[in-house]
Structure 1
């Protein structure tokens, strides 16, 4: 992209960050990390390490924090520990190699890069041929963005895609003219105009798709940003007003930001804004979340480098006041531009002054939440958004998943092309661990996550609400286990395959059954658990285990309830081989009573047969019996209108412990 101040480009990007939560220290650390609050996240990870809590995981994340904070010495210190861990992800060999480069230990860095490649890691041939900041490489290691087709590109320059509702606005030089062609001398392409198309349109976009009204002139126009109500547009244009081109003292036509109003479907009332000047350029408009601030690029007096990012307040009457330079953390001695503000009020921009992968790269700001949300650092957003070419005008649609950016990278159709993308957010498994008898949350339950080969991936403890949350990879198989000293373990198997892109969590709630130790039965009764006297002379009680459920008019064991029966098998064959139980099967009220009695007996028998087939001693099953619809657990008797869900609760088989030892 060889455009100077005559070219209008807007660079937008959105990265959605998870909402901050107080549920658990590890969850808090992960949330801070995902919001780019690396200073605060590092503090919490250090606390987890000091308490020896999920130490391996916390060490890796702490090293990542230091990498993103541009502190290679501390990053190398913790990566050195991380790479010694059992089953450490191979990407950490690469991260350690990059950190070692940051402290000029080049020989060691090459050794770890070789180990990374020997372990199956893929490294580009030119990775060490350029002195690219190691933080950039680390940040881009975990790909979250994937490229899609954008159908509206031309052989000329196309960029600045901005979607609002079902329309996509973009800037293009595609209008070659009919008679005399007007070409921009810099690149011999037509001048830029603003176009609009239906997002789902399959038609080619030609000159007839230009926005209606007075936006487009005979010089460069666009790209644009529009207020949330759709009534006001801010757009860039050459200094051209009332059919007159105005040049500065050097004979150059600078850029200005204009404002237009939508009237009867057309953009009218073009207004030259007071932030503009004839002797400097003002361009790349971007609005914040509530349209109260306008961010822009300018080389006005006070600019630090070739161009800087600035901001001005927009008052309710439309006046613009309090112009402010975004400061030295954002602006360098080179060129910054194309600001965008996401829904979290984080500033994103492009720069060739901050270290990047190529020419123009996209960067995001990090705010210090403990210091009045002041911007404390910037980070490169990584590949595939950034490349070794110019990458700019990145935007995110309201869905938080899809969007656009532009690049002049190889493989495009024109000089600058628009690329669509979809984002795959971080996925987690979360749930609540509950006491199966009284329904109370179980605090401090140990949650262990395993992969499909039985390797432990992570562990944590539930908070005071019994809640847990663990980040997981997509397209994998998992097993999650909940355990606590006073309970029988519970587990679930699940996978993250074919999960919709916009989903960020998988629910896996777990139930823990209290171990019905006879010596503790009196104490358990005092806690109002579901126990009944059977024999006062022996003080043995009956304890109900989790029921299993059946489909309507069926008595076969469903796969999800086979897992529940497997827990009973373990309890009766391993933990308490002398344990004895009764099986009681039931139906809902629908259908004749005689048929329901028969159906329940078959349910009892199929349950009995399953337990015996898995090794349970038949002598330890005192009785298996069907009760039909005699013992409904809710109001859903004959003649009562009930939902399918309520009827389902009655189609059950229950287990009663009559002897433990």
Structure 2
């Protein structure tokens, strides 16, 4: 009875614990569904520590950290999810791959992408990975062509979304300004964002001020962009307009793009939302084309193929906004494509985790023509990109200097703003190929590859790797080029190519042929079959003619070579008879070569040696087999001059 009491108490305790876990799980799920990821992560962590396990818990916990850009912690829970191996959607292989990149474990990350590719072969991210398995080499090729610096005005809070306005840099920050407001956002427990300004010239550099008390509210404001005349600003704010907040059907306050004007005193007024905004989707991070007639932005509105896509909308002369359209491929993927920026020469820059990169969000560029993206998406490489989130790049009038944000290691806080100076931004694209032996089709390592433009100028060069593969950078505008391949002991090959191309370049090098050394027997070099004569005759038989043609071809290929035709017999028969017979056969062979090959007479001499130079012990009086005698009945073609 006593033991039964303990059992009953144990069951009551277990039931109570289970009930408590279910309540906590429900609460965590509500927070998660309301995008309160920081709070949800705390609840899920407590459940996990109490021993609660389920695929959904690991998904939600991993996702909570993923959406907060804490990829290291996200990876811990994605790994547990994949270890269980139950109810795992392909997307989690993709996300786990990104968390592994954050740790620098690229080989394992690629392994996860291979699994993702096997499950979602049609996904643009899988297609891009399959098309560019050597993406790390391509990024390495472009790296080191910029200098970055962490700005002194960064705080311990998120600072990002820079924009240029007159002589100032305008940016978003959650920093503490000493005001009473500073409510924390449940997404990540940081205070809400406001717009700030810092001077970029004179002695006041580093002085931080609120940009506009009129535009800043108790909710998020970020990522402004200004028209050239400085009279209009487009910016991102939570769904909070004219003092009223809007929510989606889950009670979440989404993001909207607003437009405001400035008066003569520099005060911003009439912040109005744009017509494509909605309560059920977000629109954020506006950018303007150089002529101010096209607005670019990121959104998850209906028609989006990923977590967020980049859209564009016409700005009419009267200020009205046209219908947004998805910019489409090759820019948008099933991942996050966001933070667009248009440079002075009209090229598009954006952040993405859907294109092959170093980890987290990387910054990419797409050459544009008349607001239409080209087929080339270019990773801007290290040091601009890292294995964490890098985003919100803007460039000044020069097109080579700018600012961007990153949450990489070594910063002041969560997201920091960095300055960047590029050596060049002429958008070079990778051209890939392989070098092979023309005859054997085997790949050739350490072959030098040079790319020449139409004027014969060298624009790129490299060396093939151990598998014969090579990657070079060419202008993304493409065109006709010459590719020159060289390698020791091979003949230089020049091939005309049109790049870029969907197919890798294949260059075949031909082994350089040199005359055989003095004293070489061409019968062995050319692997000739034995040249036989009918008994007691010196006439060239048809089977011998086939072999002699190889000698003729060789002499024609190397016109400076001179040979001596030597004919040998076995030891059977008298010495004098064998000497005369072999001499007739040598001269008959010589004459055939000269006549049939149109070879100059002084290049071919002939001599019979009879049985004077046996290849074995079969001399006069020695009993030998037919096979042993055959070794001595031979013709030689000895190189006398090269």
TM-score grouping bracket, smaller chain normalisation: 0.3 to 0.5
- Give the structure, 1 or 2, with the largest relative contact order (CA under 8 Å, sep 6 or more): 1
Question: Which structure's residues are more often helix, by fraction?
Answer: 2
Name which one, 1 or 2, has greater alpha-carbon Rg: 2
TM-score, normalised via structure 2 length: 0.46
TM-score, normalised via structure 1 length: 0.44
